[in-house]
Amino acid sequence: MMWRKVGVALAGASLISFVALWEGDKKIAYADKLAYNVPTVCHGHTGPDVRVGDVWTKARCDAVLIGNLEKHGQGLLKCVSVPINQNQFDALSSWTFNVGIGAACGSTLVKLLNAGQYSEACNQLPRWDRAGGKQVRGLTNRRNAEKALCLTPVQPHRKAVA
């Protein structure tokens, strides 16, 4: 697992589980209707290696998800200039994976975050619930979950009492 000076784990178990919940897990590549028929497979993976009808293994899907989350998490961190906690990182990396690094880094959300307006930044997430110009219930639900996670303080670890 990789670490960055802001103290977050890239593609940690919590982020992987969170994104997998929202992206689903389709082993047969399909044309994603919400994403202008872009060939998609596994947990929302797109790219030149995806062709509609291809069948991917669970191991390949898991490896690609980790790689995608690390790529998008690192992309997010390159445009964030303030420290963020693990919950903020996980929520915003999930969002960045879904909307793209360029859209995330150019957003009002990141501008607010970099201005130290953490709550205001997290509260921007529900605005990103549209695909093809239309509000999508699944994206609304996802953004609300990301917002809740983003606003959740990280609890300190406690020692077990014998």
Residues identified as active-site = 23, 32
Backbone angles phi, psi at 131, to 5 degrees: -140, 130
Q: Which residue reads 């872009």 in tokens?
A: 38
b/e code 21-56 from CB counts within 10 Å (16+ = b): ebbeebeebeebeeeeeebbbbbbbeeeebeeeeeb
Backbone angles phi, psi at 155, to 5 degrees: -80, 135
